[in-house]
Amino acid sequence: MFYKSLTAIFILFNLTFLTTACNGSPDNNGSADHTPTDKTDNQKKDRPKDTSIDLPQEQLQKTDQGQAVKTLQKALNNAGYSISDNGTFDRETTWALTDFQLQQDSLTATGIYNEPTRNALQKKLDETDAVKAGAVLRKPDEKPTAVGNPHDILALVNKDNRLPGDFVPRNLTVPDVRFPFDDFLPKKQMRKVAAQALEDMFQAANNNDLELFAQSGYRSYERQDAIFASNVRERGEEAANKVSAKPGESEHQTGLTMDVTSPDVNYRLVTDFGQTDEGQWIKQHASEYGFIIRYPKGKQAITKYQYEPWHLRYVGQKAATAIMKQDITLEEYLGEA
């Protein structure tokens, strides 16, 4: 009996010792150390690297397809995103690239993959920590009711795709071009990338002895609301909706648009501008600087707006060249007609 009790005590002692060893040594307060491990941080530090990724050298943007796009998608996934590597530069890829650009102080958010973006992405791939996907720009819904990525150079803004009421473009600046008025007004502004292109275009027009004037660029959501309300009072809502955008539906809010004019039409925004020397030159050469005539003649059924030869939208040289050469709209180019 004595020996059985002694054996039981011995077994109990060993079990207690093993349990303590497994759970960790008690701290000064008599409790085991259960400090939690941050799994997310470990995943970032241990994120596998695909050292075989050779980032594309060419410029890529929405609607592009092929192996170069697929490689870019794989690189974005390796940097911290989770998108399909289907080889099509789709809305999801544009979102990931724009969100990445917005998180880099050295980049301008455009949604277009270019040399500065390639260099920044390569640097991020060489680092340990992953990008926090969606930290600045929320991932767009599958069926958006509004423009989910207003920073995108190719963002489609129309009566079916509205900008958020609180969206204000980054890097607004006043282009160094002629205006028919001297005072500073917000409508003198454009996003920097578009303003620089406008300056180049105006300089080329000057070299051809043409007198282009910039009339109206950026408009806030609130300003567009006031303009549309004024047109409704003057014309009625149905007529106003053909010549003026409702708040959120105006491209001017993107900071990528500038209305242009000339002395021959007394600096007005009228269809006669299309017949002036300046208007004809714009039609032939605007795409060389990344601009399109956003509401061309004969396309009202698609754009839902009348012909506006003065309304220029910056989309980048690649897209602008294709759009103007094929005589199509931005809706048709993006497959959204």
Full DSSP string of 273-331: GGGSHHHHHHHHHGGGGTEEEEE-TT-HHHHSS--EEEEEEE--HHHHHHHHHHT--HH
The CATH fold of domain 50-126: Muramoyl-pentapeptide Carboxypeptidase; domain 1 (1.10.101)
The structure's pTM equals 0.81
Tell me what pLDDT residue 40 has.
Answer: 38
Tell me what pLDDT residue 19 has.
Answer: 40
- Smallest CA-to-CA distance from 313 within 332, 282, 297, 291 is with 291
pLDDT band at 31 (very low <50, low <70, confident <90, very high): very low
CATH code for residues 172-333: 3.30.1380.10
Tell me what pLDDT residue 237 has.
Answer: 86
Which of 149-153, 172-176, 236-240, 328-332 shows the lowest per-residue confidence on average (mean pLDDT)? 236-240
d(CA 305, CA 195): 25
**In this structure, which long-range contacts are made by residues 7-16, counting pairs with CB atoms below 8 Å and at least 24 apart in sequence?**
none
Tell me what pLDDT residue 241 has.
Answer: 83
pLDDT band at 51 (very low <50, low <70, confident <90, very high): low
d(CA 82, CA 75): 10
Q: Which residues contact 296 (CB under 8 A, 6 or more apart)?
A: 303, 307, 327, 329
Tell me what pLDDT residue 105 has.
Answer: 93
Q: Which residue in this structure is represented by tokens 């939690």?
A: 36
Give the dihedral of Cα atoms 37, 41, 42, 44; nearest 10 deg. Answer: 170
pLDDT band at 28 (very low <50, low <70, confident <90, very high): very low
Which percentage of the chain shows pLDDT scores above 70?
A: 83
User: Is the confidence at residue 35, as pLDDT, over 90?
Assistant: no
Q: Which residues contact 132 (CB under 8 A, 6 or more apart)?
A: 80, 103
Give the H or E element holding residue 75. Answer: helix 67-79
d(CA 94, CA 84): 12
Token pair recorded at residue 75: 């690189």
d(CA 318, CA 140): 24
pLDDT band at 41 (very low <50, low <70, confident <90, very high): very low
Looking at per-residue pLDDT, the higher value among 297 and 23 belongs to: 297
The half-sphere exposure of 283 on its side-chain side, counting CA atoms within 13 A, is 17
Identity of the residue numbered 322: A
d(CA 188, CA 185): 6
pLDDT band at 133 (very low <50, low <70, confident <90, very high): very high
**Per-chain mean pLDDT for the chain:** 86
Domain boundaries defined on the chain:
50-126, 172-333
User: Is the confidence at residue 328, as pLDDT, over 80?
Assistant: yes
Give the H or E element holding residue 213. Answer: strand 213-216
Looking at per-residue pLDDT, the higher value among 136 and 3 belongs to: 136
CA angle 134, 255, 210 (to 5 degrees): 145
- Smallest CA-to-CA distance from 187 within 220, 228, 163, 219 is with 219
Top-ranked range on mean pLDDT: pick from 48-57, 124-133, 232-241, 305-314: 305-314
pLDDT band at 49 (very low <50, low <70, confident <90, very high): low
Arithmetic mean of pLDDT, 198-207 = 98
